Amino acid sequence: MKTSIIGYPRIGCLRELKFASEKYFRGEITAAELEKTAKEIRSYNLNLQKNSGLDFIPSNDFSFYDGILDTAFLLNAVPERYTSLGLSALDTYFAAARGYQGDKGDVKALAMKKWYNTNYHYMVAEIDDSTEIKLNGTKPFDLFKEALDAGVKTKPVVIGAFTFLKLARYKGTKKAADFVKETAKAYSDLLKKFAELGAEWIQFDEPSLVKDLTAEDIKLFTDLYKAILADKGSVKVIAQTYFGDVRDCYRELCGLDFDGIGLDFYEGKKSLELVEKNGFPKGKVLFAGVVNGKNIWRNNYAKTLNILNTLKKSASEIVISTSCSLLHVPCTLANETKLAENVKKHFSYAEEKLGELAELKTIVSSAAPENTEEFKKNAALHAETREGSNQAVKDKVAALTEKDFVRLPAFAEREKIQKDRFKLPLFPTTTIGSFPQTAEVKSARKQFRNGELSAENYEKFIEQKIAECVALQEEIGLDVLVHGEFERNDMVEYFGECLDGYIFTEKAWVQSYGTRCVKPPVVWGDISRAKPMTVRWSVYAQSLTKKPMKGMLTGPVTILNWSFPREDITLKESAFQIALAIREEVLDLEANGISIIQVDEAALREKLPLRKSDWKEDYLDWAIPAFRYVHSGVKPETQIHTHMCYSEFADIIKEIDDMDADVITFEASRSDLTILDVLKENNFRTEVGPGVYDIHSPRVPSKEEIIEAVRKMKERIPAEKLWINPDCGLKTRGNAETVPSLKNLVAAALEVRK
Ligand code: GLN
Ligand code: ZN
């Protein structure tokens, strides 16, 4: 059996691409210097993969920002508002990715969306009636040649036609089906070009196939590939799926003229059953995703061997592969200098997963797989019991009953009590929590961590930042204030550090979007609150102002979703353990005089199973109760806010209302405002703050723009339920744009009130 991976992290082990790109954005380095860094990363990855013995080495998995955006440029599906700016190719690309405000014009970025059930985000391609899809770029070819020059014939990976068309946003009257012919032509041209260049295998990523598919979807898929594969020439094509199983189209997938089919045996609940029941087409190669590309635990070779042995009965040629691209795990354990050996030996990042693939190859090619050293060592590792168990926590979770999830009195009564208490103006203004994390703040945190700044001085520094932030908000005239979150590196890691049962890494960065990375903590044992986490800062901030100061916490579902979760207990069990800890903090804040508490569930929507039939049972049935448990113990006059990134929750609107928060803020500025209609139709009970401007872009929104956004909101949402706020935390922004933006926001609110 050969080995393959679907893609590799491209940000660089030490986030070299991030830092170079950001320097480029600031005008500190040239495009050529940025390209040099990119090339070094590619070449490093290539050598690493080659030396690991990997058989199918991907190319074109590199991107300066995002793979869908790359594909939009490759297929000529780029809105004119970017191409007409008259910028260089690279800057046009970045304008679409990040927006552009300068002497050549003023345009917003393309919308950004979560990539399936991951914490990665892609740029949404826009297609309108005048879009002419055709092959119009050279990046995949250039990168293939680059690797070839370095002596490696790679497997180019490109987002597949079906997934591309499914994920695009259609601005005009034409829909995906209207673009079949020209899209198929573009992909055929791509195959031809690769054939000329001597490519042997090409991987088309088609994760959209693991979603619920309609008859129309299946027709779109088959129409596209009948045409694309009709004259594919000498190259062999892999249909690569991941993040689930292909139960709706297995037959069609097998029936098309693909040479390889990639299936996910990790998240694909039914993948094995599909192959066993239906067989696997003769003459095709099965790329078996058996090494989890989304988590950091060592592969269990015994389990993997079982899967491979089962598959062998149906498929004559199997390639051992990862379940998805390794983009979703950190690069290498080599940079983790502080992890204890007995912890580290359970971990496997991208580089170590290459090692696992190599070991699996050795194991399966041995006459007695179970007797190989590699197998035995792995079996011994998995037989060990992990420390970190906490019986008291387990007992508490086991004892939870229905009434623990209900906050009393009911919403309407609380709303009245809170209006009386806070006496806020109509359209109260607030922010989502964090203020710009300036270089000064980051460097102080770093000094503190390195022991160069004493705890006392660090705390003084944070207090000073909080005081400045409170003064600034008062000057701007916001109604509900925040302390600014200067003490936090990250909204999940910060809490993880205050919780027992979590483990931290130094360099386990994973790309979230563009140049943004996250460093998810690891759920290692049972979770409990080691100490108060935020009380000290919130209480200090409140002491500086008469206005309400929002306490700021991250909710259990988000903490879990943005961590690397355990695989030895259920997600539900972990979520409830974390909920227990956050609830303690909520009650502690309340007891210390904090009257409004925001519990962010930024990532609630993100882990919703991809198939609707799995939503309730696999997810919502524990995620919503976990949130409710966090706040069910507070007094009626305490106001609970929550915040969610992205407004893509039309389909779970009832469940969102059912979280029973008093106020919810969410992103709405970049997506169309259809969510507002949905709120109206569903008589949404919770007060809402749909973000009035996009904080992911450095643009400063004008007062008029914000008034216009509020006007639209007002048409659908009763004025007394409406809040005015940016669409997310401000930590990634600078003060230069934040201050004028917030001033415009407050000015807009004042005018709308009049
Ligand atoms: N309170 C967090 C902040 O303001 C929320 C961030 C988020 O939604 N991702 O940074
Ligand atoms: Zn957000």
Q: Are residues 512 and 656 in the same domain?
A: yes
CA–CA dist 607, 7 (Å, integer): 21
Q: What is the DSSP letter of 377?
A: H
Residue 112 counted as domain residue: yes
**Candidate from 430, 432, 604 with most ligand 1 atoms within 8 A of CB, to mutate:** 432
CA–CA dist 95, 108 (Å, integer): 8
**What percentage of the chain carries pLDDT values higher than 70?**
99
Give yes or no for residue 600 CB within 6 A of ligand 1: yes
- Tens digit of pLDDT for each residue in 93-112? 999 999 999 999 999 999 99
Confidence of residue 606 (pLDDT cuts 50, 70, 90): confident
Do the Cβ atoms of 427 and 483 come closer than 8 Å? no
Residue 626 counted as domain residue: yes
Residue 518: name the closest of 144, 43, 67, 18 by CA. Answer: 18
Single-letter code of the amino acid located at 727: D
How buried is residue 333: exposed, middle or buried, by Cβ count under 10 Å (0-12/13-18/19+)?
buried
CA of 697: how far to CAs of 95, 98, 103, 238, 701, in Å?
10, 6, 17, 37, 10
Q: Are residues 378 and 434 in the same domain?
A: no
- Tens digit of pLDDT for each residue in 422-474? 999 999 999 999 999 999 999 999 999 999 999 999 999 999 999 999 999 99
The angle subtended at Cα 532 by Cα 597 and Cα 537, nearest 5°, is: 60
Please give the distance, rounded to the nearest whole angstrom, from the Cα atom of residue 342 to the centre of ligand 2.
36
What stretch of H or E contains 550? strand 550-554
Do the Cβ atoms of 498 and 472 come closer than 8 Å? no
Confidence of residue 18 (pLDDT cuts 50, 70, 90): very high
* 334 pLDDT higher than 70: yes
Instruction: Decide if 121 is catalytic.
Output: no
Q: Are residues 331 and 429 in the same domain?
A: no
CATH of the domain at 608: 3.20.20.210
Which tokens sit at 80? 């004119």
Please give the distance, rounded to the nearest whole angstrom, from the Cα atom of residue 491 to the centre of ligand 1.
7
Q: For position 672, what pLDDT does the model report? A: 64
In this structure, of 143-152, 255-264, 482-491, 673-682, the range with the lowest mean pLDDT score is 673-682
Domain interval for residue 105: 2-383
- Tens digit of pLDDT for each residue in 271-320? 999 999 999 999 999 999 999 999 999 999 999 999 999 999 999 999 99
Q: For position 671, what pLDDT does the model report? A: 64
Q: For position 646, what pLDDT does the model report? A: 75
Do the Cβ atoms of 492 and 478 come closer than 8 Å? no
Q: For position 674, what pLDDT does the model report? A: 81
Q: Are residues 263 and 379 in the same domain?
A: yes
Taking phi over 0 as left and psi of -120 to 50 as alpha, with beta for the rest, 477 belongs to: left
Q: What is the CA radius of gyration of the chain?
A: 26
Which tokens sit at 597? 């508490």
Residue 106 counted as domain residue: yes
Q: Are residues 239 and 345 in the same domain?
A: yes
Q: Are residues 246 and 346 in the same domain?
A: yes
DSSP readout, 290-335? EE-SS--BPP-HHHHHHHHHHHHTT-SEEEEEESS-GGGS-S-GGG
Q: Are residues 491 and 364 in the same domain?
A: no
Which tokens sit at 479? 């109604």
Q: For position 244, what pLDDT does the model report? A: 97
Give yes or no for residue 428 CB within 6 A of ligand 1: no
Q: Are residues 373 and 521 in the same domain?
A: no
- Tens digit of pLDDT for each residue in 612-632? 999 999 999 999 999 999 999
Q: Are residues 379 and 438 in the same domain?
A: no
Q: For position 670, what pLDDT does the model report? A: 65
Do the Cβ atoms of 692 and 727 come closer than 8 Å? yes
Give yes or no for residue 731 CB within 6 A of ligand 1: yes
Please tell me the total count of domains within the chain. 2
CA of 4: how far to CAs of 54, 55, 167, 289, in Å?
6, 6, 26, 9
Do the Cβ atoms of 156 and 199 come closer than 8 Å? yes
**What percentage of the chain carries pLDDT values higher than 90?**
94
Give yes or no for residue 604 CB within 6 A of ligand 1: no
Rounded to an integer, the average pLDDT of 394-419 is 97
Give yes or no for residue 434 CB within 6 A of ligand 1: yes
How buried is residue 337: exposed, middle or buried, by Cβ count under 10 Å (0-12/13-18/19+)?
exposed
Do the Cβ atoms of 288 and 266 come closer than 8 Å? no
CA–CA dist 523, 502 (Å, integer): 5
**Candidate from 434, 562, 641, 644 with most ligand 1 atoms within 8 A of CB, to mutate:** 434
Q: Are residues 441 and 337 in the same domain?
A: no
Q: What is the DSSP letter of 652?
A: G
Residue 408 counted as domain residue: no
Q: How far apart are the first and last CA of the chain?
A: 72
CA–CA dist 478, 472 (Å, integer): 9
Collapsed DSSP state (helix, strand, coil) of residue 286: strand
Residue with tokens 């579902």: 557
Residue 407 counted as domain residue: no
* CA-nearest residue, atom 9 of ligand 1: 602
CA of 163: how far to CAs of 183, 406, 465, 647, in Å?
12, 41, 46, 22
CA–CA dist 609, 622 (Å, integer): 13
Residue 390 counted as domain residue: no
Q: Which atom of ligand 1 is nearest to the CA of 598?
A: 1
Q: For position 460, what pLDDT does the model report? A: 97
CA–CA dist 746, 171 (Å, integer): 32
Q: Are residues 372 and 424 in the same domain?
A: no
Distance of CA 174 to the CA centre of its chain: 29
CA–CA dist 700, 414 (Å, integer): 36
